């Protein structure tokens, strides 16, 4: 964890692991943004922000290998890698974490990352809840074996038929975010990246 924190123990980490939603920042029509443009934009951000952050969170599609190969990422800056192949779209129904094909905790370790990060969609009453807990348990064990820190970002999401604008749902969401954080901690993760109850 020291590799991704400042000398005084703070974590000014820049998250650049976004996929299609990052391309939406580059053009009104994200489909007009190609691979090279996306990589170039991320590398420019890494070079510009490196003096001001303790670490970058990067994705395997547009950021990790490119940042290392281009030497955009200084050796003095920590590296976090996301393992999932997700975005923030919320399709209806229970969510199951979708891992990036051909990508693993071991590969994240081999590429030189200090921390593995998981975007974790979790609702305790959803039929996928047991599977989602097993995902975290498995990564906790894998990361322990690899001496790789694990950060989990729980995401509370609506189930079919829920009114996300109701005060009842909003209150349930706040409670759910807190409970998900406690559960992730109980499962043995190293760091929690909380989903803001206010958004």
pLDDT digits (tens, 9 = 90+) for 92-126: 788 998 888 899 999 999 999 999 999 999 999 99
For 56, the enclosing helix (H) or strand (E) is strand 55-58
What pLDDT score does 194 carry?
86
pLDDT at 51: 96
Angle at 42 between CA 36 and CA 189, to 5 degrees: 125
Rounded CA-CA distance 174/44 in Å is 36
Q: What is the pLDDT of residue 18?
A: 87
Give the pLDDT of residue 40.
96
* pLDDT value of residue 197: 62
Give residue 88's pLDDT.
Answer: 63
Which residue, among 106, 117, 101, 104, has the nearest Cα to 149 in the 3D structure? 117
pTM: 0.87
Task: Measure the CA–CA gap between 173 and 40, rounded to whole angstroms.
Answer: 37
Encoded tokens for 116: 């593995």
Nearest to 194 by CA among 120, 85, 133: 120
pLDDT of 4 strictly over 70: yes
pLDDT at residue number 199: 52
Q: Please identify which residue in the block is written with the tokens 């199951």.
A: 96
pLDDT for 2: 87
Residue 72 has pLDDT above 80, yes or no: yes
The whole-number average pLDDT for the span 151-163 is 92
């Amino acid at each position: 964890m020291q590799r991704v924190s400042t000398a005084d123990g703070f974590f000014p980490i820049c998250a650049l692991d976004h996929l299609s939603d990052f391309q939406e920042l580059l053009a009104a029509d994200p489909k007009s943004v190609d691979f090279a443009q996306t990589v170039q934009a991320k590398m420019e951000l890494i070079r510009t922000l490196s003096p001001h952050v303790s670490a970058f969170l990067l994705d395997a599609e547009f950021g990790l290998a490119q940042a290392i190969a281009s030497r955009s990422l200084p050796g003095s800056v920590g590296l976090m890698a996301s393992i999932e192949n997700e975005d923030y779209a919320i399709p209806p129904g229970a969510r199951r974490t979708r891992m990036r094909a051909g990508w693993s905790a071991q590969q994240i370790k081999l590429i030189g990352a200090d921390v593995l990060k998981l975007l974790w969609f979790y609702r305790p009453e959803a039929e996928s809840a047991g599977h989602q807990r097993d995902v975290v348990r498995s990564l906790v064990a894998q990361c322990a074996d690899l001496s790789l820190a694990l950060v989990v970002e729980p995401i509370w999401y609506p189930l079919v038929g829920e009114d996300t604008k109701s005060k009842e749902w909003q209150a349930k969401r706040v409670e759910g975010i807190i409970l998900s954080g406690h559960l992730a901690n109980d499962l043995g993760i190293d760091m929690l990246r909380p989903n803001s109850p206010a958004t």
